[in-house]
């Protein structure tokens, strides 16, 4: 599934490039060794961006902020819901990845140019997770191995319950009510039907 996502992302990028008349609006980032990324991070958390929330913009270019639903905290003191930066050019890919069930390990640092912590060296500080394990899209083997070992070695300093999804309590109430109504209709029809 990860290979399909990577192939799909490559096709989308190629199509966008072709449609844009050879103009590409991506931000280039140099690869930073994963150990350095972890060392620079002021905050290390896992969770998911809430792209339905309002986007926060600072005066500095590149990063925008979105609410981030924290599940585990490995470094720093952060609330269950915080604002975390993301490269504006990565929003669509991150949104799609999350829609397919993915989440992120974020290694964030404070930067005086932003009102919220931002990923260390852009995508270097964003590690995609599938089923709480480092996803194949995380980069080269060294990077995947480093962050897999990090997650296996480090104990979270705080763990928050996942946020209620669209299929949370309200959906259960609706489904339960519909189920009760269906049973009631069945019993009424059965009672009225000749034996």
21-47 exposure pattern, b = at least 16 Cβ within 10 A, e = fewer:
eeeeeeeeeeebebeebbeebebbbbb
Q: How confident is the model at residue 1 (pLDDT cuts 50, 70, 90)?
A: low
CATH (residue range 30-188): 2.40.50
What kind and span of H or E run contains 104?
strand 103-109
pLDDT tens digits, one per residue of 129-175: 999 899 988 888 999 999 999 999 999 999 998 665 544 445 556 56
Q: Contact 35/107 with Cβ under 8 angstroms?
A: no
pLDDT tens digits, one per residue of 4-37: 444 444 434 444 444 343 333 345 789 999 999 9
Domain ranges of the chain: 30-188
Q: Which residue has the higher pLDDT, 63 or 10?
A: 63
**Structure token pair of residue 20:** 């844009």
**pTM (2 decimals)?**
0.70
């Amino acid at each position: 599934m990860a290979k399909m996502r990577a192939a799909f992302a490559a096709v989308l990028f190629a199509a966008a490039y072709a449609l844009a008349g050879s103009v590409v609006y991506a931000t280039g980032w140099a690869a930073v060794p994963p150990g350095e990324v972890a060392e620079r991070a002021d905050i290390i958390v896992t969770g998911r961006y809430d792209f339905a929330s309002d986007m926060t913009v600072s005066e500095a270019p590149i990063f925008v902020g979105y609410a981030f639903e924290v599940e585990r905290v490995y470094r720093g003191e952060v609330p269950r819901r915080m604002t975390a930066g993301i490269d504006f050019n990565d929003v669509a890919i991150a949104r799609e990845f999350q829609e397919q069930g993915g989440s992120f390990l974020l290694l964030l640092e404070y930067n005086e140019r932003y009102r919220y912590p931002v990923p260390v060296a852009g995508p270097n500080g964003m590690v995609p997770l599938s089923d709480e394990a480092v996803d194949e899209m995380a980069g080269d083997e060294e990077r995947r191995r480093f962050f897999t070992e990090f997650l296996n070695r480090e104990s979270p300093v705080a763990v928050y319950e996942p946020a209620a999804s669209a299929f949370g309590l309200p959906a259960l109430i609706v489904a339960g009510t519909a189920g009760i109504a269906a049973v009631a209709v069945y019993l009424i029809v059965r009672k009225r039907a000749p034996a």
